[in-house]
Amino acid sequence: MTVIPQPLAQAGINLEYDGRCLVVRDQDPSACPIRNRGGEALASFLSSNPDIKVLDIRESNISDNGLAQICLTLRQSNQLEELHANPVGHTGLEFLLGVVRRCSRLRTLTVEVCDVPTLFVGRQNLSAADYDTSNYVAPKPEGEEEQEELEEEELQARAAKAERLRKVFTENNYDSGDEMAPPEEVKAVSSALTKLLAELVRVVRSQVNLTTVECRGDAVPSHVKLDISRAAEEHQACRHGLAEPEERGAHTGMDVLQEQMAEIQSVLEGKDRPVKPFR
């Protein structure tokens, strides 16, 4: 059983730690996000345990601001080989970009991106809409209200029927011989996220240490996901291509050495076998 340090327990964080892999979860996912205090406590734990190579915070409910403390520590320690991040907004993605740029040991990165400035924003109890009385309607007499309710229900039923018919006509509004169905609706992506995703693609391409990268989220265009996965696959192929010749060369050299040692041994034992010259 993992003993959770007091600062992490007070911040509402649960840990699973085996000496190499650290999994972080929120004790109460329905509560408010874990912000600066939890981020600082987790960053301190990472700094004190440099043997941690895999960090999984997908279920941590850590806010973008809390993630900042963790990313700054990871950039300094450069200890991770795998990072599985929690969902982030624009701010959180910027912090993760710093980790990707600086951490040369990082091999695997997974993250889910949302098209919002910051994913977790402190909620206010009241807003301007709470003081808006323009839609207030005075109560009506009981009989008149019942009659209006019946009329309203009838109108809603007619509208629902019309909507069902409209959908049927829309779905069948193309030639039966067409092989392709109507194109899917493409979600608009904010300019801020577009720039961040373009930078993520560029950084992944430049970091040959990254061999597995997954960027999820409805706001992430399919071509961006494809570019990122292809760049990571190319890095993986290059690493395998460089390793194979080295292994072949080492194997051949060992074979030659063993052969020469066998020949020397046979001469020492008095066998009539010439020794091949060293190459």
The per-residue pLDDT for 273 is 52
Ranges 52-56, 200-204, 257-261: which has the least confidence: 257-261
Crossing angle, helix 90-102 and helix 64-77, to 10 degrees? Answer: 0
Model pLDDT, residue 124: 43
Say how far apart CA 54 and CA 75 lie, in whole Å.
14
Q: Which of 75, 78, 81, 77 is nearest to 53 (CA)?
A: 81
All residues at 6 or more sequence positions from 216 whose CB lies less than 8 Å from its CB, including other chains: 110, 111, 112, 113, 225
Domain parsing of the chain, residue ranges: 6-121+188-244
Top mean-pLDDT range of 52-56, 124-128, 172-176, 267-271: 52-56
* Least confident stretch, 13-27, 72-86, 253-267: 253-267
What digits encode the pLDDT tens for the residues 53-95? 999 999 998 989 889 999 999 999 999 999 999 999 999 999 9
What is the torsional sign of CA 26, 93, 212, 245? negative
Question: Tokens in use for 248?
Answer: 């072949």
Please say whether the beta carbons of 43 and 30 come within 8 A: no
**Mean pLDDT across the chain, nearest whole number?**
80
User: Which architecture characterizes domain 6-121+188-244 according to CATH?
Assistant: Alpha-Beta Horseshoe (3.80)
Alpha-helical (H) ranges within the chain are 6-10, 36-48, 64-77, 90-102, 142-171, 191-206, 222-268
DSSP element (H, E) containing 26: strand 21-26
Residue 193 has pLDDT above 90, yes or no: yes
Output phi, psi for 4, to 5 deg.
-85, 125
Please enumerate in sequence order all residues whose Cβ is within 8 A of that of 149, keeping only pairs 6 or more positions apart, or say none.
Answer: none
Instruction: Grade residue 241 by pLDDT with cuts at 50, 70 and 90.
Output: confident
Output the pLDDT for position 125: 45
